[in-house]
Amino acid sequence: MHQNRATIDRYFAAIGRLDREAWVACFAPEGFAHDPADAPVRRGRDAHRAFFDAIASLFTELEFRVESAHSCGDRSAVVFSARALAKTGRRAEARGVDLFTFDPQGQILRVDGFWDPSPLFAAAAPAS
């Protein structure tokens, strides 16, 4: 197994447990994210905590499953599937690819998410 895979597994497992601190610990202190890739940059652990709290407040279950991971040096591309149960009681699914860059300690320096999270947010939106 490539050394980055342990961090990838911790990252996605922490989402499934809704464990903010375990998820944030996957990032280097200066780590940043574009999630999805066209979103404004989110930089630093406090920003990651705020993002996680905002997402976790919408869902009772989140499962991100690694379908495949491909690593080369300090970078990895991960194909994932996501399933969610929103606090509204509605379910949703999505698929995507995360591109990670890691520091020498195996923490995330950068992640770019290539996916459309709108099905998950639609499930979490109040009924009109």
Give the pTM. Answer: 0.94
Is the pLDDT at 128 greater than 90? The verdict is: no
| Calpha distance 120→102 (Å, rounded) | 27
Q: How far apart are CA 20 and CA 29, in angstroms?
A: 15
The CATH number of the domain covering residues in 4-124? 3.10.450.50
Distance separating alpha carbons of residues 104 and 71, to the nearest angstrom: 14
pLDDT at 1: 54
pLDDT in tens, 1-56: 578 999 999 999 999 999 999 999 999 999 999 999 999 999 999 999 999 999 99
Give per-residue pLDDT as tens, 63-109: 999 999 999 999 999 999 999 999 999 999 999 999 999 999 999 99
Taking alpha carbons only, the member of 100, 93, 98 closest to residue 118 is 93
